[in-house]
């Protein structure tokens, strides 16, 4: 996409007051019968198209998680590409973040960069911090893309490594400092902090200033949305990409799945908007 | 594969005195003209088949890195599956480790487990430690598979996070302790330590006892093979999976690439064998 820039797309959505990101965690087994087509690939794409059509005017981003597509082999991988292509065609103002949680050594990351930004045409990606910024260089040097570094993840057990004390602060804060102070030389970094940990979210916001924070864990994972907004907003009352997946896309198991997804997305959008003016 | 068990396959290879793992980092752009077929998928598979045919009797494992396949989209993903299928058919005694460096939250890791162990039919996988063991449960509970946790990676810049001091020891040692003492309840864990850091390799070996260590970084990355063997061997003079990729599979850019790969693999095998009896 010549001229397409993740941060610019995102800022426009924030200017429109949109902070909800719908996670396209398209688990084939949960797709309603009414969306079934004659191949795995066609079914996954048809479901995603319906979700995108129903929500594109109220979201700031889409976030497919690669695992649900890879689980279906080459057909799933092709479905992921077709999904991005559909969003580029039908909702070109909405950026797409691939939740891939990648990170290899530098020369190998070039393969992931080719896969994610060229083949799959994503605008942004999530990455693991463990190998350090030198390894992540092929990602970090893409000024037009968004690179979200895992900081404080939403899962139970996240604290096993992330709360280890190092230089007087837990590791997740150290990662936030590193991203802000060293890794963000191209202004394209963000961090991932789960909504399930609002206090940690507040601490990270202090560290990263107005950098984008991707906040998963709302909905099925049980994060408190209002608390997350209070803790996660930046000095401008923006800066957040609040992701909900299963609770939106699988809001109904019936033929009304797309309408139900829109209803739940609208509800979440409303809660976020109210929390922001409090 | 009913009855197929990663650790048993590996132990047999160690009993045969084999410790070299050939990394199938099949970069499409480096495949010699003589191996070109009429599709990306066919070319990648044909190249891998020739490498496997030429080396299967002197290796303890193969290790394709997922990035080089994902870079080629759904065709690359299918080529990866066909490569494992070929090894299962033609070299069923050699285990296959997918260097995928995955890790998501628990429920999502099930997608990766389906992809890596079911669709791609891999015997083992590499994973990031940052989300903790609870997240990795879908991997760790697969007793028949090998789960290699990134500990001290071979890249420059690895120390940015991995050497951070925590509880009086660097983070990579803490990870080694966690894997040994908490994560390995099913006896299926290993750790990844780069050959480029022999002193750290020696330290990790002390911590993990006779657990398998996957040791990349020999060859193109410049790790000293003899030092790595001295530092990496376990109390039985075994325990190592020493991985070389580019220096083996791209040993010659000509039509003799497979013979050249065998020659380089044989040379490395010889160096390892000599270092073990020193």
CATH number at residue A108: 3.20.20.70
Q: How many helices (H) and strands (E) does chain A have?
A: 12, 10
Residues 34-73 of chain B whose Cβ lies under 8 A from any Cβ of chain A: 65, 67-73
pLDDT tens sequence across B174-195: 999 999 999 999 999 999 999 9
Q: Which CB contacts under 8 angstroms, 24+ apart, belong to B8-14? A: B9/B93, B9/B94, B9/B95, B9/B123, B10/B60, B10/B61, B10/B95, B10/B146, B10/B212, B10/B241, B12/B93, B13/B59, B13/B60, B13/B61, B13/B93, B13/B94, B13/B95, B14/B60, B14/B238, B14/B239
Q: In this complex, do B133 and A160 lie within 8 Å of one another by their Cβ atoms?
A: yes
Check CB contact under 8 Å for B166 and A166: yes
Facing B174 at nearest CB: one of A109, A159, A164: A164
Q: Per the domain annotation, does B263 fall within a domain?
A: yes
Length of chain B: 278
Q: Which of residues 86-115 of A touch B (CB under 8 A)?
A: 99, 101-106, 108-112, 114-115
Instruction: Give me chain A's average pLDDT, please.
Output: 96
Q: Any CB–CB contact under 8 A between A153 and chain B?
A: yes
Number of domains making up chain A: 1
Report pLDDT digits (tens) over B212-229: 999 998 876 666 899 999
Within-domain flag for A103: yes
Closest residue of chain A to B176, computed from CA coordinates: A161
Give the chain B residue nearest A175 (alpha carbons): B161
Q: In this structure, is residue B1 part of a structural domain? A: no
Tens of pLDDT, residues A202-219: 999 999 999 999 999 887
Domain membership of residue A160 (yes or no) is yes
Name the pTM for this structure: 0.97
pLDDT digits (tens, 9 = 90+) for B114-143: 999 999 999 999 999 999 999 999 999 999
Structure confidence at residue A65 (pLDDT) = 98
- Asked if residue A1 belongs to a domain, the reply is no
For residue A104, being part of any structural domain is answered with: yes
Say what the ipTM of the complex is.
0.96
Domain range for A101 is 6-277
CA distance B109 to chain A (A): 7
State the Cα–Cα distance between residues B145 and B143, nearest whole angstrom. 6
């Amino acid at each position: 996409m010549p001229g397409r820039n993740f941060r610019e797309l995102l800022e426009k959505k924030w200017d429109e007051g949109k902070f909800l990101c719908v996670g396209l965690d398209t688990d084939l087994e949960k797709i309603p019968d009414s969306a079934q087509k004659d191949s795995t690939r066609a079914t996954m794409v048809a479901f995603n198209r319906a979700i995108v059509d129903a929500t594109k005017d109220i979201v700031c981003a889409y976030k497919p998680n690669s695992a649900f597509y890879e689980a279906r082999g080459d057909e799933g991988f092709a479905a992921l590409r077709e999904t991005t292509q559909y969003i580029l065609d039908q909702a070109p103002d909405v950026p797409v973040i691939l939740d891939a949680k990648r990170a290899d050594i530098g020369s190998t990351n070039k393969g992931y960069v080719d896969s994610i930004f060229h083949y799959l045409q994503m605008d942004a990606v999530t990455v693991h911090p463990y190998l350090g910024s030198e390894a992540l260089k092929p990602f970090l040097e893409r000024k037009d893309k968004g690179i979200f570094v895992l900081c404080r993840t939403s899962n139970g057990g996240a604290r096993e490594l992330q709360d280890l004390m190092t230089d007087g602060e837990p590791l997740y804060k150290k990662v936030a400092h590193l991203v802000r102070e060293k890794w963000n030389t191209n202004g394209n970094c963000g961090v991932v902090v789960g909504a399930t940990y609002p206090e940690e979210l507040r601490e990270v916001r202090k560290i990263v200033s107005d950098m984008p924070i991707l906040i998963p864990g709302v909905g099925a994972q049980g994060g408190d949305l209002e608390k997350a907004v209070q803790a996660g907003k930046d000095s401008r009352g923006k800066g957040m990409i609040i992701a909900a997946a299963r609770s939106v896309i699988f809001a109904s198991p019936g033929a009304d799945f797309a309408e139900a997804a829109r209803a739940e997305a609208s509800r979440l959008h409303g809660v976020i908007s109210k929390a922001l003016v409090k």
